[in-house]
Amino acid sequence: MKLIKNVNIVLPNGKIKKRGSIIIAAGKIKEITDIIPYGEYEEIIDGEGVLTAVPGFVDMHVHLRDPGQTEKEDIFSGCMAAAAGGVTSLLCMPNTEPTIDNPAVVAYINDKAKKATAKVLVAGSITKGLKSAKLCDFAQLKAAGAIAVTDDGRPVENQELLQKALKAAAANGLRLLAHCEDLKIVDGGIVNKGEASQSLGVKGIDRESENKGTQLVIDAAEQTGTSAHICHVSTAEAVEMIAQAKRRGVKITAETAPHYFAFTEKELLQKKDADYRMNPPLRTENDRQAVIKGLKNGTIDAIATDHAPHTVAEKSNFLTAPNGSIGMETSFAAGYTYLVLPGLLTLPELIKKMSDNPAAILGIAAGKLEVGATADIVLLNTNKKWTVDPLKLHGKSQNTPFKGLELAGKVAKTILNGKVVFDEAVDSM
């Protein structure tokens, strides 16, 4: 048995137990108590009244780049980054090379991930090769171990095909994640259309791209009576569309990413740095506030990172760089700094957006600190401030928009299946 003592514990009911103890046996949480139980333990972790125990984070939007682009990231390096960020379960996206559109690629990922420092869940693609032409065999993907489907990186462009996909996903017990975008509207844009595109003299991405795509997914879910999850929400209009759909009883859930509640296009204008280029792009202050409001009132259910590694060389040219930023190691600290410290969310509310809610959306047994649950636990030092140094992060890539910023809240230890897979004290030696 293992003992974690003198820790503040965020419980499933949203309350925080002060200076409690957690006993772990056979990879499960055996007991949560107010006292320090006597007994023989193979390992004792003392939080000294400073550390806070929370359930392991579930990041439902991660690009591991494996297979095919392992110079950017691979399953092992991505999971090292996950562990350093307190992420114990992650959903990997299918835009790999080859695409995760067949059982062989699902099997490859599941087999390789057995030795990783996080649990890798697999999202197969909705269409073969992400081409919006032919649906994948969802039954085969499910049998191979996929738990969700998405064409993330691209939308399903045909509405009739999207409706068929929603029905097929529901029939096979797979969660469908929707990338909401109209490629005709995007038309080669690289930043938010408006002040950013005008000041930089580049083609912009009109917000109508995301808004139109969001409405199409909502309509498809409503018309078929099925559920859909909307990825990386960034516009005020999309937040409102989702809120209205939920009020009508449409089975919609949604996520946003830390960069959308932390930054606006102003950062891009100031730095002209491709690490601040992602899709959807950074928007306006009005959009940032709408995203925060959506997180506060429950319109946006989850915080995911859209962790998208790229090499330094790729990101060196602002105009030609691919979209995307990494985020697993900074996600909690960003949430704590930009949402909890200003009083916008409580710590338990933030944790729920990063653990319990995404686990529930994906239908996996994770995200709860309770007796009988798997001992996927993160110990946080909410008092610690740290400066994000891309060279000290644990993945292969460095393209973080949080670089150089001082954030509050640090992962001290990450425990996976009862075993410590990240220890900041050891890591920093």
Give the length of the chain.
429
pLDDT of residue 274: 98
Look at residues 218, 188, 305, 221 and name the one whose alpha carbon lies nearest to residue 258: 305
13: number of CA atoms within 13 Å, CB side?
3
Active site residue 306: yes
DSSP state letter for 114: G
Q: Tell me which CATH code domain 2-53+374-427 carries.
A: 2.30.40.10
- Determine the residue type at 203: K
Region of residue 48 (phi > 0: left; psi between -120 and 50: alpha; otherwise: beta): left
Global confidence as pTM = 0.98
Name the percent of the chain in helix, strand, coil, to the closest 5: 35, 25, 40
pLDDT of residue 255: 99
Name the CATH topology of 56-362.
TIM Barrel (3.20.20)
Look at residues 269, 279, 219 and name the one whose alpha carbon lies nearest to residue 244: 219
pLDDT in tens, 278-318: 999 999 999 999 999 999 999 999 999 999 999 999 999 99
Q: Which residues of the chain have pLDDT under 70?
A: 429
- CB neighbours (10 Å) of residue 32? 18
Domain limits, the chain: 2-53+374-427, 56-362
- Distance between first and last Cα of the chain: 27
pLDDT of residue 429: 58
69: number of CA atoms within 13 Å, CB side?
19
Q: Which letter, b or e, does each residue of 77-113 get, where b requires 16 or more Cβ atoms within 10 Å of its Cβ?
A: bbbbbbbbbbbbbbbbbbbbeebbbbbebbebbbebb
CA angle at residue 24 from 349 to 345, to 5 degrees? 5
**Beta-strand relationship, 228-230 and 43-46:** unpaired
Same fold, 2-53+374-427 and 56-362: no
Look at residues 257, 256, 261, 283 and name the one whose alpha carbon lies nearest to residue 338: 261
In angstroms, rounded to a whole number, what is the distance separating the alpha carbons of residues 147 and 100?
12
Helix axes 236-247, 285-297, angle to 10 degrees: 30
Integer angstrom CA distances of residue 111 from 87, 88, 145, 264, 335 = 20, 17, 11, 40, 32
> From the CA atom positions of the chain, what is the Rg in Å?
21
**Beta-strand relationship, 148-150 and 175-178:** parallel
Region of residue 19 (phi > 0: left; psi between -120 and 50: alpha; otherwise: beta): left
pLDDT in tens, 137-169: 999 999 999 999 999 999 999 999 999 999 999
pLDDT of residue 177: 98
Pick the catalytic residue: 74, 151, 301, 306? 306
